[in-house]
Amino acid sequence: MKKDKLLIFIITYKAKKRVYNVFKKINFKQLKGYKTHILISDDASNDSTIFYSRKVLKEYKSSKLNINKRNLGYGGNIKKCIKYGIKNKFKYAVMIHGDGQYSPTYIKNLVSNLSKKDCYAVTGSRLKLGLKKAVLGGMPLYKLVGNVFLTKFFNFAFKTNFKDAHTGLWAYRIEIFKKIKLKKLPNTFNFDQQIRIQLINKGMKIKEIPIKTIYADERSQLHILYAIKFFFITVFYFLKLDYFFNRKDFN
């Protein structure tokens, strides 16, 4: 029986040893049913991240390291990984952050859900287990409040029912990129928001699975600029003024 091709891409920027620790948490025994390949894509780090990334290559044969010559940004780095997945004809792709904020122990669950009918993307929700779990996981109160408010506003605008619209743990069916144009997605931290919107607009289902919150040693990208952009992108799409966000000066 032919195995489906699975790409696990780990995006890094100044992750240092954490990228290696993330790799060690991947349960390859659970993934025996897939032809699994690892791509580490570093966004022009100038620290020991590359050293630890190369340790992964030595320990796992079906792996590759990409080093961006210049910083492409969060979304730009993801797009490079997805293009690799498209070019090499993978069926599924899972994105993992090299800083360890999202545990790779959920990979099997993410991909299993993708194999179900009419499911095109799966995300890990830190709030699906309840607000108390998020607080116990170390999520700062101001981020929790911001997450809840912006997620509820997003749900109101798009008539959805997500619990966590700010997660960075994603799995995709590669086929969705036949309908979603990567070049129209931003290179910024709002990449995940924009791909969520595009999937909703195309009528492609996104499933959430519950995950634990990890904040012990994280370097959060959820800063004020991201939150402001998230709010206004949602407003503009709600008002059918989304053409503003196809402009190069915004991306």
Per-residue confidence (pLDDT) for residue 243, from 0 to 100:
52
Per-residue confidence (pLDDT) for residue 179, from 0 to 100:
94
Query: CB 201: neighbour CB atoms within 10 A?
Result: 13
How far is it, in rounded angstroms, from Cα 134 to Cα 81?
29
How far is it, in rounded angstroms, from Cα 199 to Cα 220?
25
Per-residue confidence (pLDDT) for residue 244, from 0 to 100:
52
Per-residue confidence (pLDDT) for residue 9, from 0 to 100:
98
CA 13 to the chain's CA centroid: 14
The owner of tokens 């499911």 is 119
Element (H, E) at 94: strand 92-97
CA 121 to the chain's CA centroid: 10
pLDDT 10s per residue in the chain (251 long)? 789 999 999 999 999 999 999 999 999 999 999 999 999 999 999 999 999 999 999 999 999 999 999 999 999 999 999 999 999 999 999 999 999 999 999 999 999 999 998 999 999 999 998 888 887 777 888 888 999 999 999 999 999 999 999 999 999 999 999 999 898 899 999 999 999 999 999 999 999 999 997 765 544 444 688 899 999 999 999 887 665 555 443 33
Q: In the chain, which residue ranges form alpha helices assigned H by DSSP?
A: 18-24, 49-59, 74-87, 107-114, 131-136, 141-158, 191-201, 224-238
Q: Which residues sit opposite 35 in a β-bridge?
A: 5
What superfamily in CATH does domain 4-246 come from? Spore Coat Polysaccharide Biosynthesis Protein SpsA; Chain A (3.90.550.10)
Radius of gyration of the chain (CA): 17
Domains of the chain, by residue range, sit at 4-246
Residue whose C-alpha is closest to residue 62's, from 34, 82, 86: 34
- How many Cα neighbours within 13 Å face the side chain of 88? 20
Per-residue confidence (pLDDT) for residue 248, from 0 to 100:
43
Per-residue confidence (pLDDT) for residue 132, from 0 to 100:
80
The owner of tokens 């122990």 is 105
**Strands 4-12 and 34-42, bridge-based pairing:** parallel
Tokens of 180: 């979603």
> Collapsing DSSP states into helix, strand and coil, what is residue 67?
strand
The owner of tokens 């991947």 is 26
